[in-house]
Amino acid sequence: MDNITQIIATIAGVLTSGAIWKYLENRMKTKAQERKERIANDDGVLYRDDLKSRVKNLETLLANSADEKEELRTQVLNLTAEVNALRVKVEFLEKENQRLKG
């Protein structure tokens, strides 16, 4: 009888330990999921995500303004070259005009 009792106790222990393990595993998964949801809905996380999107937007605007600045700098250089060329032409025309008058 003692052997049968020990065998039954061992089988019961093995079966219940597997069930307990599954219960504890499911409980831990549920708690972890609840913790993730709580963290995801936390105001600090939402505020951080908002700040990240704002920084990304500002970086994009800064890059665009740098590109625009470079284009404007090129235009200013081109216009300066044209103004210098026109000054030379005006000086030449004024000299030619003075020569023709005299």
94 φ/ψ angles, rounded to the nearest 5 degrees: -65, -45
The predicted structure's pLDDT at residue 1: 58
Q: What angle do CA 85, 90, 96 make, to 5 degrees?
A: 130
42 φ/ψ angles, rounded to the nearest 5 degrees: -70, 140
Tens of pLDDT along the chain (102 residues)? Answer: 577 877 777 777 776 777 777 887 888 899 989 888 887 777 777 788 889 999 999 999 999 999 999 999 999 999 999 999 999 999 999 999 999 998
> Can you tell me the distance from the alpha carbon of 14 to that of 77, in angstroms, rounded to the nearest whole number?
86
* 45 touches 39 (CB < 8 A): yes
The predicted structure's pLDDT at residue 76: 97
